[in-house]
Amino acid sequence: MSAVGGPIRDADEASLRDAVALLRAGGVVAFPTETVYGLGADAASESGVARIYRIKGRPVGHPLIVHVDGLESARWWAEFDADATCLARRFWPGPLTLILRRRPGVPAWACGHEPTIGLRCPSHPVATRLLAAFRRAGGHGIAAPSANRFGRISPTRALHVLEDLGAEAPLILDGGDAEVGVESTIVDLSRGRGVLLRPGAITAAEIADALGAPIEDRGEASMAPEAFEVADGRRAEPDAPPRTSGSMAAHYAPVRPLELVSPGELADRLAVLRDQGVRVVLWSRRRPAGHVGEWERAPGNARDYARVLYDALRRFDRLDVERIVLEAPPDGADGSLWAAVNDRLKRAAFGSGAASPPG
């Protein structure tokens, strides 16, 4: 969808030139990646990065991911050892973010006071063209968290960005629906070993196979609210991983309260809510007998589920209901993309029901 004269524009050459000019001038641009839409600024621009934090309402201690157009561009920002080079060559362009030690002297505006930096090379063709054009214009990378208010549901369509940011929406390059639909896998390589900080479409098993060694999974540890940060913005744990995007217990959250209910308990829970007079929308693989409220069929495989998840949550949030009930999907213990889906759902449920974004 493109609005002539509005903030949503087709990603043609003229729009790309305008986007690059905005970025070089310290402005912000929303653009598609294969995971979600990002709110981007020149990662080397203090004023541009500050605009991202202000528009999103994001605490300044939360690092941003810097998007680059390839391995050579990434080397400008960080030191790449054999493991980092291996993963970049295997999975870039694609939905993998690497946390690496930042090179001395490079701009740190997007790093949230960490000595590390998150780097990613997206595969979406619009992102690829934008990053290449930005590099030709002298840029080194685009810092870009998801293009939504902090803590809320990530955008997977250009229209989602406009709905979230309203009058503060910048130029939005329309690249259609995001293909993956959940944020990138994050792997920390900054401390001499591979640590999975956030699951995504590239699984822990694929990372371990590429490295030829198992990786530690710290994703579940970050679900505990007290594990995130203490008053001075630093981790309380002595060997804590760097702070990263999407690591808060409350994230990706709808305004309506959201419940995850196991398949075996679903009928009983719906009966309780019905007896209490609670208006419910249900997302499940089958419609339970006796359910008379709103219902949509949930996809049965992880990739389809992940691709439509955020759009579904946004749609449910607009309904005249008091509760969003989701049949809990498979747990992802098999190492599949279900692990990433469950990570997002648990955080969405934890942060749901608040009138203002969590954080």
pLDDT reported for residue 357 = 46
Looking at residue 234, its pLDDT comes to 45
Q: What is the pLDDT of residue 65?
A: 98
Does this model's pTM top 0.85? My answer is yes
Q: Which residue ranges form the domains of the chain, and what is each CATH number?
A: 8-227 (3.90.870.10), 258-351 (3.40.50.11030)
The whole-number pLDDT of residue 230 equals 32
**Would you give per-residue pLDDT tens digits along the chain (359 residues)?**
344 335 999 999 999 999 999 999 999 999 999 999 999 999 999 999 999 999 999 998 899 999 999 999 999 999 999 999 999 999 999 999 999 999 999 999 999 989 999 999 999 999 999 999 999 999 999 999 999 999 899 999 999 999 999 999 999 999 999 999 999 999 999 998 999 999 999 999 999 999 999 999 876 544 444 333 333 344 445 456 665 555 555 568 899 999 999 999 999 999 999 999 999 999 999 999 888 889 999 999 999 999 999 999 999 999 999 999 999 999 887 778 999 999 999 999 998 986 544 44
3-state secondary structure the chain: CCCCCCCEEECCHHHHHHHHHHHHCCCCEEEECCCCEEEEEECCCHHHHHHHHHHHCCCCCCCCEEECCCHHHHHCCECCCHHHHHHHHHHCCCCEEEEEEECCCCCCCCCCCCCEEEEECCCCHHHHHHHHHHHHCCCCCEECCECCCCCECCCCCHHHHHHHHHHHCCEEEECCCCCCCCCCEEEECCCCCCEEEECCCCCHHHHHHHHCCCCEECCCHHHCHHHCCCCCCCCCCCCCCCCCCCCCCCCCECCCCEEEECHHHHHHHHHHHHHCCCCEEEEECCCCCCCCCEEEECCCCHHHHHHHHHHHHHHHHCCCCCEEEEECCCCCCCCCCHHHHHHHHHHHHHHCCCCCCCC
**Which residue, among 224, 229, 231, has the nearest Cα to 249 in the 3D structure?**
224
Q: Note the pLDDT of residue 229.
A: 39
